[in-house]
Structure 1
Amino acid sequence: MTTVTLPDGPTTPAFVQGIEILAGRTRAWRRLHQRYGSAFMVAMPRFGPTLVLSEPAEVKALFTTHTDLVDNIDANLGQFLGPGSLFALRGEEHRKERKLLTPPFHGRRLAVYESLIEEEAVREMAGWPSGREFATMDSMMRITLNVILRAVFGAEGAEFDQLRALLPKLVLVGSALAALPVPRRLFGRFGPWARFAAYRAQYDEIVGRLIRRAAADPQLSERDDVLAMLLQARYDDGSAMTHSEIADELLTLLTAGHETTATSLAWTVERLRRHPDILRRLVEENDAGGSALREATLLETQRVRPVIDATLRKVRTDSLQLGRWTLARGQHVMVSVRLMHDNPELFTNPRDFDPDRFVGARPGTFSWIPFGGGARRCIGAAFATMEMNVVLRVLLRDFTLETTDAPDERAHFRGVALVPAKKGRAVVYRRAPRPPVAEAAESGVERGAEVTA
Structure 2
Amino acid sequence: MTTVTRPPGPATLPPGPTVPRAVQGAYALASPLRGMRRLREKYGDAFTVNVPIFGHAVVISGAAEVKQLFTAGAELVDNQEVNLGRVLGPRSLFALSGEEHRRQRKLLVPPFHGRRLAAYEKIVEEETVRELATWPEGRAFATLPSMMRITLNAILRAVFGAEGAEFAELRALLPPFVTLGSRLAVLPITKKGRWNPWRRFERMRREYDAIVDRLIAKARPDGDDVLSMMLQTRYDDGSGLSREEIADQLLTLLTAGHETTATTLAWAVERLRRHPALLEELAEDDGKLLDATILEVQRTRPVIDLTARQVKQDGFQLGRWTLPKGYVVLVSIALIHDDDALFPHAATFDPHRFEGARPDLYQWIPFGGGTRRCLGAAFATMEMTVVLRTLLRDFTLEPTTEADERWHSRGVAYAPAKGGRAVVRRRGGIA
TM-score by length of 1: 0.91
5 Å matches for 1:29-48? 29-48=36-55
Q: Does 1:78 align with 2:72?
A: no
Q: Does 1:136 align with 2:136?
A: no
Q: Does 1:346 align with 2:342?
A: yes
- Give the Å deviation of 1:417: 0.3
Q: How many Å separate the matches in 1 of 2:178 and 2:164? A: 21
Equivalent pair of 2:49/2:58 in contact (CA under 8 Å): yes
Equivalent pair of 2:10/2:315 in contact (CA under 8 Å): no
Q: How many Å separate the matches in 1 of 2:32 and 2:337? A: 15
- Give the Å deviation of 1:78: 0.6
Which is further off, 155-164 or 37-46? 37-46
Q: Does 1:205 align with 2:201?
A: no
1:346-399 CA deviation, whole Å, 9 max, x = no partner?
100000000000010110010000000011000000000010000000000011
Which amino acid counterpart does residue 350 of structure 1 have in structure 2?
A: A
Equivalent position of 1:252 in the other structure: 252
Identical aligned residues as a percent: 63
Which is further off, 44-53 or 130-139? 44-53
1:214-234 CA deviation, whole Å, 9 max, x = no partner?
1xx4xx22x210001000001
Equivalent pair of 2:303/2:414 in contact (CA under 8 Å): yes
1:268-315 CA deviation, whole Å, 9 max, x = no partner?
000001111111111222xxxx10000100000000000001101111
Q: How many Å separate the matches in 2 of 1:318 and 1:34? A: 29
Which amino acid counterpart does residue 336 of structure 2 have in structure 1?
A: M
Which amino acid counterpart does residue 196 of structure 2 have in structure 1?
A: G
Q: 2:405 aligns to what SS in structure 1?
A: coil
Q: How many Å separate the matches in 2 of 1:330 and 1:18? A: 19
1:322-349 CA deviation, whole Å, 9 max, x = no partner?
1111111101100010111011111000
Equivalent pair of 2:406/2:416 in contact (CA under 8 Å): yes
5 Å matches for 1:322-341? 322-341=318-337
Q: How many Å separate the matches in 2 of 1:45 and 1:390? A: 39
Equivalent pair of 2:87/2:184 in contact (CA under 8 Å): no
Equivalent position of 1:269 in the other structure: 269
- Gap runs ≥5 in structure 1: 434-453
- Give the Å deviation of 1:403: 0.8
Equivalent position of 2:300 in the other structure: 304
Equivalent position of 2:63 in the other structure: 56
Equivalent position of 1:157 in the other structure: 164
Q: How many Å separate the matches in 2 of 1:243 and 1:36? A: 48
5 Å matches for 1:353-392? 353-392=349-388
Q: How many Å separate the matches in 2 of 1:430 and 1:371? A: 33
Q: 1:94 aligns to what SS in structure 2?
A: helix
What CA RMSD, in Å, does the superposition of the two structures yield over aligned residues? Answer: 1.2
Q: How many Å separate the matches in 2 of 1:15 and 1:408? A: 32
Equivalent position of 1:449 in the other structure: none
1:118 pairs, out of 125, 140, 154, with: 125
Q: How many Å separate the matches in 2 of 1:278 and 1:18? A: 40
Size of the aligned set, in residue pairs, is 422
Equivalent position of 1:439 in the other structure: none
- Give the Å deviation of 1:43: 2.1
Q: How many Å separate the matches in 1 of 2:192 and 2:226? A: 36
TM-score by length of 2: 0.96
Q: How many Å separate the matches in 2 of 1:108 and 1:64? A: 29
Q: How many Å separate the matches in 1 of 2:398 and 2:373? A: 35
Equivalent pair of 1:179/1:414 in contact (CA under 8 Å): no
Which amino acid counterpart does residue 355 of structure 2 have in structure 1?
A: V
Q: Does 1:233 align with 2:238?
A: no
Equivalent position of 2:428 in the other structure: 432
Q: How many Å separate the matches in 2 of 1:277 and 1:43? A: 45
Q: How many Å separate the matches in 1 of 2:201 and 2:9? A: 43
Equivalent pair of 1:67/1:375 in contact (CA under 8 Å): no
Q: How many Å separate the matches in 1 of 2:136 and 2:51? A: 42
- Give the Å deviation of 1:16: 2.3
Equivalent position of 1:440 in the other structure: none
Q: 1:419 aligns to what SS in structure 2?
A: strand
Q: How many Å separate the matches in 1 of 2:278 and 2:28? A: 33
- Give the Å deviation of 1:2: 5.6
Which amino acid counterpart does residue 93 of structure 2 have in structure 1?
A: L
Equivalent pair of 2:302/2:334 in contact (CA under 8 Å): yes
1:91-137 CA deviation, whole Å, 9 max, x = no partner?
10000000000000112221110111000000001000111111000
